[in-house]
C-alpha cells in the first residue's frame, strides 16, 4: 500500500462528504484474544486519527456509523459497554474536538438513550454548533429505514399535500438535512452490505470496501480510498459525454 503524501499531492477531486461504516472492531479484538469492548475502544482511538486525516485532506463533512437501531439486539453487556464508551468519549475528547474546529451533529433518535447521555450529546452539539473546520455527523441509534419512516410521519404531521412531496422535500426532513449527500461511502472489514446506512442519501455515492478492520484503517487507507474515488467517473444515472439524437 502506498503511503499517503502531503495534501498538495492529493488526487482530484477530493470528496466533500465521506461516510464510513466502521466495521470489524469485534473481529480485530478476537484476532488478538481480546474482549469485544477492547476492539470498540481501539476503534474510538482510531477515529481520532481519521478525523485528523480528514481535515488534512480537505474533507468538509465526515459521517460515521457508530451504533445502529439493530445494535440494541447485541448482548446487554456489550450495549452497556458501548454506551459507557460514548459517554467517556464526550467527557474526555469534546474539548479537543471543539478546539480543533469540529462541529458535532447527531443522526438518529436520542429517545432510548439514558437521559444523562442525552444531555451530554445535546451539550456537545450546542457547544460546537458554530465550528466550521469539519462537520462530524455521528449516526448513533440510527437506521436508514427508521429515518425515512420518521421523515414520512413528520411530513404528514406538518400537513404537506401529496403534490408538494418531491425528493428535495423528503431530503429536508431527514436527519442529514443540513449536510450534502455523501460522495464516498467507505466500509471496513470487507463486508458487502449497506447495513441500513444512509439508504436515501447514498443513492449515487461511490462505494469503497476494504478488508482492513476499522481499528487499523488509518491515514494511508483513507488516502487509498480517495485515490480510488478520484479514478471513478460519477454518472448519476446519466450517459457520459455528449448525447446525440438519432
Our answer to whether residue 196 is catalytic in this structure is: no
Taking a C-beta distance cutoff of 8 angstroms, is the pair 136, 90 a contact?
no
The catalytically annotated residue of 6, 23, 130, 137 is 23
Q: How far is CA 159 from CA 154, 163, 165, 177, in A?
A: 9, 12, 11, 19
Q: Which residue has the cell 474510538?
A: 44
C-beta separation of 35 from 14 below 8 A: no
Tell me the sheet residues that pair with 139.
65, 107
Hey, what's the cell of 216?
A: 487499523
Provide the CB-side half-sphere exposure for 174 (13 A, CA).
25
191-228: b (≥16 Cβ within 10 Å) or e: eeeeebbbebbbeebbbbbbebbbbebebebbbbbbeb
Q: Rounded to whole angstroms, how far apart are CA atoms 203 and 183?
A: 10
> Backbone phi, then psi, for 68, in 5-degree steps?
-95, 165
The Cα–Cα gap between 120 and 115 comes to 9
Active site (annotated) includes residue 23: yes
Nearest in space to 24 (alpha carbons), one of 175, 210, 151, 202: 210
CA atoms of 98 and 128, how far apart (whole Å): 6
- The three-state secondary structure class of 52 is helix
Span between the terminal Cα atoms of the chain, in Å:
47
**Catalytic annotation, pick one of 6, 71, 181, 183:** 71
Positions annotated as catalytic residues are 23, 71
Amino acid at each position: 500500500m502506498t503511503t499517503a503524501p502531503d495534501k498538495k499531492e492529493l488526487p482530484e477531486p477530493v470528496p466533500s462528504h465521506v461516510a464510513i461504516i466502521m466495521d470489524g472492531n469485534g473481529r480485530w479484538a478476537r484476532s488478538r484474544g481480546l474482549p469485544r469492548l477492547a476492539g470498540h475502544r481501539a476503534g474510538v482511538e482510531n477515529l481520532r486519527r481519521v478525523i485528523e486525516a480528514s481535515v488534512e485532506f480537505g474533507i468538509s463533512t465526515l459521517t460515521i456509523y457508530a451504533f445502529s437501531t439493530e445494535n440494541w439486539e447485541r448482548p446487554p453487556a456489550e450495549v452497556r459497554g458501548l454506551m459507557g464508551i460514548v459517554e467517556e468519549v464526550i467527557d474526555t475528547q469534546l474539548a479537543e474536538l471543539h478546539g480543533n474546529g469540529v462541529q458535532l451533529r447527531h443522526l438518529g433518535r436520542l429517545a432510548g438513550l439514558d437521559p444523562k447521555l442525552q444531555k451530554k450529546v445535546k451539550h456537545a452539539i450546542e457547544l460546537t454548533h458554530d465550528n466550521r473546520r469539519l462537520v462530524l455527523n455521528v449516526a448513533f441509534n440510527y437506521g436508514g429505514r427508521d429515518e425515512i419512516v420518521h421523515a414520512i410521519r413528520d411530513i404528514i404531521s406538518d400537513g404537506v399535500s401529496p403534490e408538494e412531496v418531491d425528493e428535495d422535500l423528503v431530503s429536508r426532513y431527514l436527519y442529514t438535512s443540513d449536510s450534502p449527500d455523501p460522495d464516498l461511502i467507505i466500509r471496513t472489514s470487507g463486508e458487502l452490505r449497506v447495513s441500513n446506512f444512509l439508504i436515501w442519501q447514498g443513492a449515487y455515492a461511490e462505494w469503497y470496501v476494504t478488508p482492513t478492520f476499522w481499528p487499523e484503517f488509518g491515514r494511508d487507507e483513507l488516502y487509498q480510498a480517495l485515490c480510488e474515488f478520484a479514478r471513478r467517473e460519477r454518472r448519476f444515472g446519466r450517459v457520459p459525454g455528449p448525447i446525440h439524437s438519432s
